[in-house]
Amino acid sequence: MNKSFWPLMNALKSRTVVPLSRSHFTYYPDKASKEVASSGNVTEKMNMFQAINNAMDLALAQDSKALLFGEDVGFGGVFRCSMNLRDKYGKERVFNTPLCEQGIAGFAIGVANVGATAIAEIQFADYIFPAFDQIVNEAAKYRYRSGGIFDCGSLTFRVPCGAVGHGALYHSQSPEAYFAHTPGLKVVIPRGPIKAKGLLLACIREPDPCIIFEPKTLYRAAVEEVPTGDYVSELGKAEVLRKGKDVTLIAWGTQVHVLLEVAEIANKEFQIDCEVIDLVSILPWDRDAVYKSVKKTGRVIVAHEAPLTQGFGAELAASIQENCFLRLEAPVKRVTGWDTPFPHVFEPFYLPDKYRCLAAIKELVNY
C-alpha cells in the first residue's frame, strides 16, 4: 500500500469527520490590486465566475474571430461562466461540443491554427486526460516542429480544478504539474475575480497556447471590485501579497487564501513574520521574486492541493535549493495533498489546511 496512506489514516484516527465547505479557507479579496489601480476602469462587484464571463464577453466583442466552445457551454456551462453569451454572440461562435475532451482539444488546435481565437472549456480538470496527447504533443509543439511557420497560439483552455467539498476522486483533482512539464504551454491559476479576468484576457491574447486552471471553489467564494473594461495581468509574474522576514509561504489558487490566514495566525500567536507569495503562473514561474524572498527569510513553505510526489512544489524546492542553498536556514517544506486518490468524506484530511501549514511554520522556525 502507498506509504502516504498511513499518515492520512493516522490523521483520521484523531479527528472527527466533518463535511467540507468553502469555510475550510478564509477568502482574502484583493483590495488594492495593480490591475484595478492601473486600468482606469469603472469597477463593479463580481465573483469569479462573473469576472470570467465578463472577460469572455469582452474577448468575443473585440475579436470577431473568437470562438467559445465546450460541453454545455452554450447553456452557460455547469458553473455558469458562459451564461448569456450564446444569446449575445450566436450559436456559430458560442456552442456546445460532444462529450469528448480529445475532440474539443483537437478542434481547438485546428481552428486556432487557421486563424481563429479559440477559447475551449474542459468541464472538469479531472477529464482533461483524454485530451492530454493533443495538448502536449500537438498544441505545445506546433510552432517548434514547423520552424515557426505554423502555430496554434490564440488558443486557451479553461479548466475548472481543485477541491470543492464533495467532488471525490473524479471532480477534485489539481493536475497542473502534468502540464508544467511541457515547453510551449503557459499555465496560470488565479486566486480570485480580479486576477481571473486579467489572466484570462492575457491568455486569450497570448501567442502561445495557454491553460488557465480555475479553482472551482472560488467561483462563488467572495466578490471583488473588478474593472468592467479591458485589462490584462502579466503572465509569469508572481505577486508578494504580504511582506515578511521570517518565512516565505508560496502557493497559487485557493491555497493562497489558506496561507494568508496562516500568516495572520503565525504573526498574532507566535510573532512569526511570514511573507506570502501568489505564484500566479507556474509555467513560466517567477524565479526572481521567489529567490529574492527566500534569500531574505531563509525558510520556505510551498503549499498545494495536488499530491506530494512530483507536485509543482517539488520543482520549486529543487530550484530554491540550487539557487539559494547558502541562504537557507532549514530545508524547503512542502505541505500538500497525499499520494492517494482524492477521497470523498475524508476530503478535509486530504487538503493542506491552515493547521498543517501552521505546524510546518513552527517546524521550520524551530529547525
Catalytic residues: 101, 171
HEC sequence for 61-94: HHCCCEEEEECCHHHCCCCCCCCCHHHHHCCCCE
- CA nearest neighbour of 72 among 64, 63, 83: 83
Contact of 334 with 352, CB cutoff 8 Å: no
| Three cell numbers written together for 26 | 478564509
**Could you tell me how far CA 222 lies from the centroid of its own chain?**
17
334, 308 Cβ separation under 8 angstroms: yes
Residue whose C-alpha cell reads 502579466 in the numeric block: 234
Return the C-alpha cell found at 132. 492530454
Distance from chain centroid for Cα 33: 18
In terms of DSSP bridges, do strands 239-242 and 247-251 run parallel, antiparallel, or are they unpaired? unpaired
Residue carrying C-alpha cell 495581468: 233
> How far is the C-alpha of 274 from the C-alpha of 259, rounded, in Å?
9
The string of DSSP codes covering 78-135 is TT-TTTTHHHHH-TTTEEE--S-HHHHHHHHHHHHHTT-EEEEE-S-GGG-GGGHHII
Query: How far is 211 from 218, CA to CA, in rounded Å?
Result: 17
